[in-house]
Structure 1
């Protein structure tokens, strides 16, 4: 609906004193002034830019230097001959009967790694190889910086000799063959058990292992018809009917007591298969 002419808003007329061609300003309007950057602000901005660039450059240099150092250390430890194994610095130490262990074979296992840097050596794998050498019961292998290895070997000490086709086979307490001898070895009992009866042999070895040193030194032979009928021969010709390997500590104490009493004179047989009821026979 058109607005009546009389109600229309009157047009603003220019002021009488306004210059010709100048548009009057709206009430409250202010002209926009240009942003003025001072010389001090520009300098601070430039300094911040230079600082950021310097920080990035320093980081790149630090990373590059760290990588170079790591690469140098890796080459020095894992590749270079600076820490390489020298066969002249390989040492083998034997605990027990040295004659039982083939020291040359143990040394060969270690020197086979000559020229390998020590940090790269697998000492656990070398230990397993040393344990495979005949006569070795236990072993440890350690690095000896900067060029050596030290192997400490525990020998399998023989506790008995078993007659064989040519001479005697020497066995340790576990029944493992640790050597051979053409003649009956001095200080070791000669064991006789039925062929194909490992239980009887194991019983004899358990009894021999449990003997106190004084009594063990008097044993010259041992036999077993089965695992429950072990018999020991002593140096004075008497015999000990031991029975099974059970309660061996008590049986050994009973034998030593009986042999130490005056009544033991002329006794040829000590039966301690029932150690609480021992029997002696002349």
Structure 2
């Protein structure tokens, strides 16, 4: 009989404890957001975008900060590669760690990373990236890989690249104050092709040429 009489009391105590915990975490100011940290955002504009999407404010109840839901919203941004969000129940700090996609080229007016993902990165100014045009991201990657494989001295002269197919890559380069179109062909024998281009440019009779075809470097064509 004594055990039965204690059962309702234990239930009441458990319910009271549960209600107290709910209040403590969901309503009390003890467990509230003290600071919000955003790391990994590559530009000021992207950091502002993350902050707006996360919509977390100082003083907000930590229990109402839902890391998984916020992460899903942020991952909808095309320039986001991954995101991790954590809450610290002791100091009230919320951390948002961003891993952005890294632009490797301008592709058809947008930016593209090394995986071929196309995106627009707010506030990004990458003047040193190659400008690539191609019918598909895969061909755009081929042109970008060619650019990255070039020696720095020659790479600095490249204005833009285009790829119609794997065997038909072309580029525009600036040499001696002239803009010259170079039909490169496949991404092969780059050292030889650069040597041939330099030799052709050095010839007096080629001072007015505007096009060089080194797709077959042992039999180049100039126009």
TM range (shorter): 0.5 to 0.7
By relative contact order (CA 8 Å, sep 6+), the higher-ranking structure is 2
Aligned to 1:230: 169
Give yes or no for contact 2:36–2:58 (8 Å, CA) kept in 1: no
CA contact (8 A) 2:170 2:185 kept: yes
Match of 1:255 in 2: 190
Matched with 1:109 is 53
Equivalent of 1:190, from 131, 138, 142?
Answer: 131
Is this contact kept in 2: 1:203–1:230, CA < 8 A?
no
Aligned equivalent of 1:266, options 195, 199, 215: 199
Matches within 5 A, 1:123-272: 123-133=67-77, 135-146=79-90, 147-161=92-106, 169-173=109-113, 174-179=117-122, 185-192=126-133, 200-211=135-146, 213-215=148-150, 218=155, 219-224=158-163, 226-228=164-166, 229-233=168-172, 239=182, 241-243=184-186, 251=187, 254-256=189-191, 258=192, 266=199, 269-271=213-215
Give the CA deviation at 1:126.
Answer: 0.9
In structure 2, what is the Cα distance between the partners aligned to 1:118 and 1:170? 38
Pairing 1:71–2:19 present: yes
Which structure's residues are more often strand, by fraction? 2
Consecutive unaligned residues in structure 2, runs of 5 or more: 201-211
How many correspondences in the alignment? 197
SS in 2 for 1:149: strand
Residue 181 and residue 143 in structure 1: after superposition, are their counterparts in 2 closer, same or farther (change >3 A)? closer
TM-score of the aligned structures, taking structure 2 as reference length: 0.65
2:132 and 2:172 mapped to 1: Cα distance?
10
TM-score by length of 1: 0.54
RMSD (CA atoms): 3.8
Q: Which has the larger displacement, 171-180 or 103-112? A: 171-180
Larger Rg: 1
Please list every run of 5 or more consecutive structure 1 residues that lacks an aligned counterpart in the other structure. 1-51, 164-168, 194-199, 244-250, 273-277
| TM alignment of 1:77-116, pairs within 5 A | 77-86=25-34, 89-94=35-40, 98-99=42-43, 102-112=46-56, 115-116=59-60
